Structure 1
């Protein structure tokens, strides 16, 4: 019986390994091919590669409308990251520091934006903005992005704040610190890795988000919406591929830094 189980286990692991390789290939192969086609000296995407050139990168970095859309995404992402992290820090501290009777209900409401389809959320926000007379702009995009990034910030910061030793805060209060100064001198430094991770993750989510920006943009386009609008023109595809490659590299770097900061912070003893 032991021999049977020992021989079955490698077979199961082999099947799981094949599935894992196939899954990762399906997910990441198109992403890995994007930088390759972005240096292809041709207007079309096809094998074999005609030649190598950096012309499309130079074109992307000098295209006025594309740079304007990039700047719009950076502005929206930065504001959303700061607002979401501030709101998330307040909510995470309340949920971890105090024993609230309806904490699970509150967490359920916080999680709702993560399970609602973005197209439904985008249409709902568009209808509300129209009914209250709010002009579609980068401001409405930012409001929509705050709705979907606050839950992410809350969960990231709760994972950090739950490991706190409350006796440290109580000792600071006993030594004469006010609650406000105790927060800045004790709580904030210990929560800083989680705050940095929240800023990076929420910025990345806002920067890459398309559906809400598509419904709420008006005449001020963010980069994902601008890229979508340019895909209809074959002559502009190489520049879009080059910009997409730069975005992928930047997004990957931000996610890696956020993960590293979160892990380094959780690894410290509080």
Structure 2
């Protein structure tokens, strides 16, 4: 049976006062969320969505990934909305969400925003997610080249998020063909804005996932570290069923950042 074996690193960077990224690493679910919003709402949005998604995935252990991701996205959206209702100073808060779910035989990506997922196989790096940004729209419509997009001043303008577009289509669901030996990377744009894919591919050759995540994070810091940086490196392995809650990263480490709408409804 397939599962993930890996680790993540999240760093505030050299410019931002606090970490608005959140992450979770488990044997059958892993995710990165990058929050936006004023009044400390960015970390609330990312941690709340990360908690809702990871809790939903753990509660629906080994169920079909598409169903898990759909329910998890609904839970994340509801929790972020509730977080705004509890404190209107958080109005406008939202978060990216890039999550991988494995049911023991298949892996599916759920994605919204401009955090990214990659697969590294046989020395070749392939981006699995599509950025939901204004600049990516310009690339897709042939108005600018991919090379120009990397330097465009509006490259961080996100068009879709949780829950910045309440009437939006939700997560992109992308089946990810995987086999033992594949390596998967989830990361926030604090990495990809500063570290090119050639360097990412080079670092992913390191044998230990934690070392790879740490070196990728350090590469972004050396390049300026102007944003929060979160990197999760996962090896796809085959073996017996394992049980584990997972590793918390970034804003998710502080429970005060989490708005748990489900818990409130149960009171």
TM-score by length of 2: 0.27
Greater fraction helix: 1
Greater fraction strand: 2
TM-score by length of 1: 0.27
Task: Return the index of the structure with the highest Cα Rg.
Answer: 1
